[in-house]
Structures are given as C-alpha cells and as structure tokens.
Chains A and B, each alone.
Chain A
C-alpha cells in the first residue's frame, strides 16, 4: 500500500507565511491561556492531599461532600468523580507532617456512613516538596533543551539547532496551552509527557533536517527553498506513518490506559499532532528565516573535505618517508 507516493515536490516554502501565521496565532493563544488561566497544578507541584475512594456501586457524591465538610480542615476540599461513577477523588490543600496521624484515617472515619467503600490511593505532598519538584521539573526541561542544542549544532550547524529548538518550544508551548485549555491537572506525569513531546518532536524534525542536509550535498540547485520542498516531500510519507503508529498507541493509552494516565495520554496526543505539523511546516521555514546559506555551507563542507584530504596527503607523504 502506498499513500504518499513521491511525484514532484510540494511547494511548501511558498506557503510558509500562512503556516507561520497559524503557528503564531496558536502560540499567542497558548501563551495567553498559560498567563491568564494558568496551570491547574496537581498536588505534585502545589502540595496537598488526594484520596481516591472506590464505592460498591455508584458513589453518593453529594453525601460524600456533606460528610467531608463536617471536618473544619476539609472545608475547602473538592470531591469529583474519577474515571467511573464508582470512584471519586477528594482533594485538599492540607497536608499532615505527622507520621502517626494520617489523612486517609480521618477520611475513612468521615465517610463511614456514606456506604461501602475502599480507599485505594492516598497521595500527600508537602508544600516544600511541591516547590522543589517544580524547580527540578523546570530544570530538566531547560537541561534537555541545552543538551539537544549542543548535539544538533555539533551534528548539523547552529541554525539547524536553533530551528529545531524553536520548533520544539513551539510544540511544547502549544501542548501546554492545550493542557490549560482542557484543564488537565499538571502533575509529574504531565511533565514527563511534555519532555517526551520534546524528544518526539525533535525526532521528527531531525529526520527532515537530515534529509535537507543530504539534499544540500546532492541536489545541484542551490536554492534552499527548493531543497527544503524536495526534502520535506520525500520524508512526508515517513513523517506521517510514524506519527500514525505512535498516534495509535498513544490513543489506546489514552482510551484504555486507565484514569491515572489519562492526562499523560492526552498531553502526548496533542504533542504528537503538533509535533508532526511543526516538523513539516514550521521547522524548515525557520531555517530560511535564519538565512541559512546553501553555498556557504557547501564552501565550508568543501573546505573541511579539503583539509581532511590534505591531512591524508601529508600522512601518506610522511608514511612514505618523503617528509
């Protein structure tokens, strides 16, 4: 079966302005959402306690709310369904430092009259740990980006590195915007999802860039726009197919993976769609804007080749005893 059969290069670069505007609009909306609405930090980053309770049959959420509100400490607690109607989570901002006393014990006592239930999960994160985790999370995002910048600069050229990092910042920002828009709780796993998007989006971009690098060496026409069009078209089949297979598995993860990794799956899903779009339509135009020059690159490559040849020659002469 073949869907993307290569016939002639698509003229993508001539349309790059339109995609640029679309991307900028998405970025502005995402940024606005992050700034105004802000992240819905889960207990991992905000600190607090989460108790997951499963009832036999439908959870009597109204009775649960009333029962919980009886205790002054839990006045601000929220009770919501979790996945199914049998399960609820109770979230509070309070956390207890004392080992002996425990929120789950208190909740157990408070809920005694609400029916038959089982406490399945209790997560408690102190405020200090929450802020530490947040710092660490931010740090890991930054470090990953720096590491990638260095590697791509080393393997390609600095403009490729900047373009790929801009593309991934684009993807991560839009994914974050979606997280805010759909009110997904931001926990450690959401952060892991964002980092995965970072790796994934980059993976896609690199494949396209690799083809452009190859095109620069093999295609006679020195016009970067044409080379990019040709290379992106050539990799289109691969980009779409891999995205599709990854999309399949992430989709099943999101659909069937259970409520706990629902947010994780969702974030990934958005990231894969945006990542695929950006590696086709966003990353390469950035190369153009950064004024990457094909002829300069070729000259540099040629000079490098020449130096290596000369070195070899010298070595040969040395080995032959002529020096």
Chain B
C-alpha cells in the first residue's frame, strides 16, 4: 500500500514553507523578511512630484556666467557688459583684441557643452542642445538623490524616493503621526536650498528704493528682498559663488544664543571667497538663500578658511531643517506636487480592521459552504485553500512586497476564486462516478479532464492581472500582485496538493460512503 506520493510531499513542503515564511509577517516580529504595509494601511505620505527643469537651465547659465567672470578676472582678461540674456545665453564684450584667443581657449576648457559665437569683439555663449538635455536629466536624478538625503538625515523610517517615468519623482514616507510633522517634511522636500553669496552694488545701492527691476537689470543687477523685513537690496546679478562649493552646514549659536548656520566651503570656494573679500573690504556681501537676503554684513578684512555664517531670526527646528537642506545640496530645479495622498494612522488601522473582517468572514463562509456541498472533498479543498493563503503571505514576505488595501481585496478575491479549481475537479469526479467509474479511476480522470480548463482559465485571468500590474499605479499594483501570486499559488495547492491528498486518502475511501466523501448519493457508482 502506497501511503505517500510525490504530490503530497510537495504540498507538505509548500505548506511548511508557507507557514514558516509567513510567521514574521503575521506576528510582525523584528527579524526576518516580512510584508510591509502600504501607506494606505499604516498611514503616511505619498507624493508624486514634478520638476521645473527650465529653472535648472537658468541656474546653470547663471553659474556659467559666474565662472566666466571669475576666470576672466583671474587671468586678467579685460571685459565688459557681461550679461545673462533671457535666462538662456551669456553675452560679453572683450576690450582687448589680443585677449580673444586666450579667452576662447579658457572658456572652451572650463565650460563644457557650450558654443561661443562672435561678432567682432562681442561674444555670445550658449549651451548646446545635448548639454540642455543632460542638464535636465541631471536635475531629476540630482533631485532624487537630494530629497532622499534630506529625508534620511531627517531620521525618518524607510522613506522611498524614486524617479518615475521621464520627469517625475515618487516620494513615500510612512509613519507620519501628526499634521505638523507632515508640514515640516513637505517644507524640507520643497526647500530649494539654493545658496548664493552676492556682492552688493554699492555704487547704486542708495537708489534701490526707487529703482525698478528693469532698471536694475540694465546695470547687470538684481533686486532681492530681505527675509524678515521689507528692506530691499541691490545686488550684482552674477553671484560670487553658490552652494555647489559648500561642504558642510551645521547649526550653531551666536553670542546672543540665537541659532545660526555655519557652513564651510571647499578649497576652490574658499579661494574665490578669500579673493573676493580681499578686494571688497568696506563693501557689503549678501548671504542669499532661495532668493531672499538673510544678512548683508560689511567686509572688514579678507576672510580666509572658507567658513561662513548665516544668521537670521531662525527657530531652532527651522535652523535644523535648513542645515539638512544645505548639507544635502540644493535642488537644481524646484519641484512641485502633481499628486499627493496622505493617510492618517487611525484610518489605516480602521482599514486593516475592516478588510481583515471581510477576509475572515468570506473565508469562513467559503470553507463551510465547501464542506456542506462536497463533504470530505470540500475539506480537501479547504486544506488547499489554507495552504494557498499561507503561500501568498510567504511569497509576499520573501519579496518584501507591500500590502495595500486593494491588495487585501485581492487576497479576499483569491479566496473565492482559488476554490474554483477544486469545484471543477470535484464536479468532474462526481460526473465520472455517476458514469460508473471506480473511485481511483474517477479521481485520475477527473484531474486529467479538469486540467486544461483550469489552466486556460487561470492563464487568461493572469494576463489581466499582469497588465494591471504593469500599467497600474501605486495601490492598484498591490491588488494585481496579490492576485497574480494567488493564482500561481492556487495552481500548486488546488491541483497538485489536492491530487496528492486524494492519492494518500485513496485506500481509506469507502465506495459505499460516497455521500460522505464526495457529497453524492452512493447508488449509481460502482
């Protein structure tokens, strides 16, 4: 008498596998791979951000202008009328014909991806098309890195920051407890943290109150407001240096015990800063952050070492977040919200409760129904169903998959559909028993006859689920995932597993008790 067969051994392994690997998820223990709950179940913030990549081009042009000014000054090339025209090109004029060759060579060396066109001694510097594309692409990937760094430094548990499509950024932050926390996180992400050190145009500064934006532009200047007061500053449009040369930023306190931010510059930045302060003694230099002037102290002497301080009337939290933003770098281009979903923790808990209730109730109904209708065959199907549930959980745990609310719905639906295979098989077996086949023959042929139907039906459903997974977004992906896993797992448990159980039970199946075993009347079967 054969008691064990490969099918039941396979099923037993699957069951053990399922139980072992779903334990960490079910108990939510610390160790082991487990299913993470989606933001809609545990609460959190989900955002899809767009990026204004045109701004990245503008600031790249600005920084190119700053470089041009610096190298011309450094190499003592005499120039005039260095201007940024319409945010996309730089124009300047050389005063000495002998400098032309040298200037061209320098620009070519220092500024990659640009084309220089000349008209006598007037020059126009533009970015090439490839450079523009590259800058845009760079802005995205840099924004992803920067936002990730900021969230990590903020000390949040497992935030997700990923590029989505060509020009979008997905941000997911689980476990936000309060409205105020969420606000703080959004501001941290949004902060451009674009730091510039700019020279005050002392020659015309007195007239700033009456000067228009356009007039300032004609002098190559820009008017920026103070961060706290209504004061306005007239600044040279081309900055002395910007945040790209910053190496560290920390919160400190000044003599009045007010929070300040101390930052240090890298070697090149420190040199530029030193050179600039040396020639600008007695003038003012403005510390500009996100186009607002935080302070504009007088330069009393050359400042070496590259350590600078931003003071303003910061609150301590604000200073802390700002330092993080500065440390993790500026956003080359500002981001904006395209989609935002936030779920409070209490709603997530409610969702878990109600969907679990639906799962348990649905499960119990199906289990009882199968036993009532099919007798022992129903019990066999129910065993497979339980195996199926554990397998779904185990596979999801191993992949570290995310369980969302629609994902829960997917599992509930799988419970209803997974017994389908067993319904088909048992119906076939019943049919064959009525035709007068013996029990072993009826079981074997029943499985054979049912197989193509189950396979074709499952593959077509799987096609729909896979399309849903590929084209779905966010939570819908979760639904498609659990359903796909459920279908695949049910092929193992409902076809192979139950077949094995029947083969194992076969010697015990009494052909006079077909009512007990298959829920049909005994007469008619031989």
User: Would you list which residues of chain A between 1 and 45 have a CB under 8 Å from chain B?
Assistant: 1-2, 6
> Considering the chains assembled together, what is the distance between the CA atoms of A133 and B475 in angstroms?
13
Contact B424 A238 (CB under 8 A): yes
> Considering the chains assembled together, what is the distance between the CA atoms of A100 and B347 in angstroms?
24
B380 contacts partner chain A, Cβ-Cβ < 8 Å: no
Given A246-B413, A248-B366, A256-B361, check contact A207 B424 (CB 8 Å). yes
Given A189-B475, A261-B409, check contact A126 B464 (CB 8 Å). no
> Considering the chains assembled together, what is the distance between the CA atoms of A138 and B6 in angstroms?
45
> Considering the chains assembled together, what is the distance between the CA atoms of A1 and B417 in angstroms?
20
Chain A contributes a number of interface residues (CB within 8 A of B) equal to 80
> Considering the chains assembled together, what is the distance between the CA atoms of A299 and B383 in angstroms?
44
Contact A203 B365 (CB under 8 A): no
A242 contacts partner chain B, Cβ-Cβ < 8 Å: yes
CB-CB < 8 A to A140: which residues of B?
467-468, 470-472
CB-CB < 8 A to B415: which residues of A?
249
Contact B190 A99 (CB under 8 A): yes
Contact of B460 among A124, A199, A249, A250 (CB under 8 A): A199
Contact of B406 among A52, A121, A252, A261 (CB under 8 A): A261
For the residues of B in contact with A, the DSSP-based class is helix
User: Would you list which residues of chain B between 401 and 434 have a CB under 8 Å from chain A?
Assistant: 405-406, 409, 412-413, 415-417, 419-420, 423-424, 427, 430-431, 434
CB-CB < 8 A to A198: which residues of B?
464
Contact B453 A248 (CB under 8 A): no
A144 contacts partner chain B, Cβ-Cβ < 8 Å: yes
Given A121-B344, A196-B413, check contact A99 B186 (CB 8 Å). yes
Contact B467 A192 (CB under 8 A): no
A69 contacts partner chain B, Cβ-Cβ < 8 Å: no
> Considering the chains assembled together, what is the distance between the CA atoms of A238 and B427 in angstroms?
7
User: Would you list which residues of chain A between 127 and 149 have a CB under 8 Å from chain B?
Assistant: 128-129, 133, 136-137, 139-140, 143-144, 147-148
Given A148-B463, A192-B468, A246-B416, check contact A261 B339 (CB 8 Å). no
CB-CB < 8 A to A148: which residues of B?
460, 463-464
Question: Which residue of chain A is the closest to B180 with respect to CB atoms?
Answer: A105
A314 contacts partner chain B, Cβ-Cβ < 8 Å: no
Contact B336 A98 (CB under 8 A): yes
For this complex, into which size category does the number of interface residues on chain B fall? 35 or more
> Considering the chains assembled together, what is the distance between the CA atoms of A152 and B457 in angstroms?
10
- Expressed in whole angstroms, the minimum distance between the Cβ of B383 and any Cβ of chain A is 16
Contact of B179 among A105, A200, A250, A265 (CB under 8 A): A105
- Expressed in whole angstroms, the minimum distance between the Cβ of A46 and any Cβ of chain B is 13
CB-CB < 8 A to B520: which residues of A?
2
Given A104-B179, A124-B340, A189-B475, check contact A237 B427 (CB 8 Å). yes
- Expressed in whole angstroms, the minimum distance between the Cβ of A197 and any Cβ of chain B is 9
CB-CB < 8 A to B347: which residues of A?
52, 54, 120-121
> Considering the chains assembled together, what is the distance between the CA atoms of A86 and B468 in angstroms?
35
A224 contacts partner chain B, Cβ-Cβ < 8 Å: no
Contact B453 A211 (CB under 8 A): yes
CB-CB < 8 A to A249: which residues of B?
358, 362-363, 365-366, 412-413, 415-416
Task: Indicate with 1 or 0, residue by residue over A182-226, a CB within 8 angstroms of chain B CB atoms.
Answer: 000000110110011011101110110011001000000000000
A316 contacts partner chain B, Cβ-Cβ < 8 Å: no
> Considering the chains assembled together, what is the distance between the CA atoms of A261 and B413 in angstroms?
13
Contact of A210 among B423, B453, B465 (CB under 8 A): B453
- Expressed in whole angstroms, the minimum distance between the Cβ of A34 and any Cβ of chain B is 21
Contact B341 A124 (CB under 8 A): yes
Contact A203 B457 (CB under 8 A): yes
Contact A118 B346 (CB under 8 A): yes
> Considering the chains assembled together, what is the distance between the CA atoms of A264 and B298 in angstroms?
65
- Expressed in whole angstroms, the minimum distance between the Cβ of B495 and any Cβ of chain A is 14
Contact A242 B419 (CB under 8 A): yes
A260 contacts partner chain B, Cβ-Cβ < 8 Å: yes
> Considering the chains assembled together, what is the distance between the CA atoms of A189 and B474 in angstroms?
11
Contact segment of B116-124, B218-226, B276-284, B369-377: B369-377
Contact B339 A1 (CB under 8 A): no
Residue from B344, B350, B427, B464 with most neighbouring chain A CB atoms (10 Å): B464
Contact B468 A102 (CB under 8 A): no
Given A122-B342, A245-B369, A249-B416, check contact A206 B483 (CB 8 Å). no
Question: Which residue of chain B is the closest to A140 with respect to CB atoms?
Answer: B471
Task: Indicate with 1 or 0, residue by residue over B447-471, a CB within 8 angstroms of chain A CB atoms.
Answer: 0010011001111110111011011
CB-CB < 8 A to B340: which residues of A?
102, 122-125
> Considering the chains assembled together, what is the distance between the CA atoms of A249 and B458 in angstroms?
19
CB-CB < 8 A to B211: which residues of A?
none
Question: Which residue of chain B is the closest to A247 with respect to CB atoms?
Answer: B416
Contact B336 A100 (CB under 8 A): no
> Considering the chains assembled together, what is the distance between the CA atoms of A237 and B50 in angstroms?
53
Given A129-B339, A200-B417, check contact A192 B519 (CB 8 Å). no
A80 contacts partner chain B, Cβ-Cβ < 8 Å: no
> Considering the chains assembled together, what is the distance between the CA atoms of A255 and B358 in angstroms?
8
Contact of B355 among A147, A204, A206, A257 (CB under 8 A): A257
> Considering the chains assembled together, what is the distance between the CA atoms of A137 and B476 in angstroms?
11
Contact A258 B354 (CB under 8 A): yes
Contact B339 A100 (CB under 8 A): no
Question: Which residue of chain A is the closest to B189 with respect to CB atoms?
Answer: A99
- Expressed in whole angstroms, the minimum distance between the Cβ of A165 and any Cβ of chain B is 11
Contact A203 B476 (CB under 8 A): no
Contact of A144 among B419, B458, B468, B475 (CB under 8 A): B468
Question: Which residue of chain B is the closest to A139 with respect to CB atoms?
Answer: B471
B127 contacts partner chain A, Cβ-Cβ < 8 Å: no
B337 contacts partner chain A, Cβ-Cβ < 8 Å: yes
Given A126-B337, A140-B472, A210-B452, check contact A245 B346 (CB 8 Å). no
Given A249-B366, A253-B362, check contact A202 B339 (CB 8 Å). no
14 A-B pairs with C-beta separation under 8 A: A54-B347, A99-B337, A102-B183, A119-B344, A120-B344, A192-B468, A206-B460, A210-B453, A237-B427, A245-B366, A248-B416, A253-B409, A256-B357, A257-B409
Residue from A97, A105, A192, A255 with most neighbouring chain B CB atoms (10 Å): A192
B187 contacts partner chain A, Cβ-Cβ < 8 Å: yes
A234 contacts partner chain B, Cβ-Cβ < 8 Å: yes
CB-CB < 8 A to A290: which residues of B?
none
> Considering the chains assembled together, what is the distance between the CA atoms of A265 and B357 in angstroms?
14
What are the nearest 6 A-B pairs in CB distance? A99-B190, A249-B362, A199-B464, A246-B416, A258-B354, A140-B471
CB-CB < 8 A to A124: which residues of B?
337, 339-341
A305 contacts partner chain B, Cβ-Cβ < 8 Å: no
CB-CB < 8 A to B391: which residues of A?
none
Contact A196 B464 (CB under 8 A): yes
- Expressed in whole angstroms, the minimum distance between the Cβ of B334 and any Cβ of chain A is 9
Question: Which residue of chain A is the closest to B459 with respect to CB atoms?
Answer: A151
> Considering the chains assembled together, what is the distance between the CA atoms of A149 and B409 in angstroms?
27
- Knowing that A124-B340, A241-B423, A252-B358 touch, tell me 20 more A-B residue pairs with CB under 8 angstroms: A1-B372, A1-B374, A97-B337, A100-B186, A100-B187, A102-B340, A119-B179, A121-B344, A140-B472, A152-B456, A195-B464, A202-B461, A214-B449, A238-B427, A248-B416, A250-B412, A256-B361, A258-B354, A261-B355, A265-B409
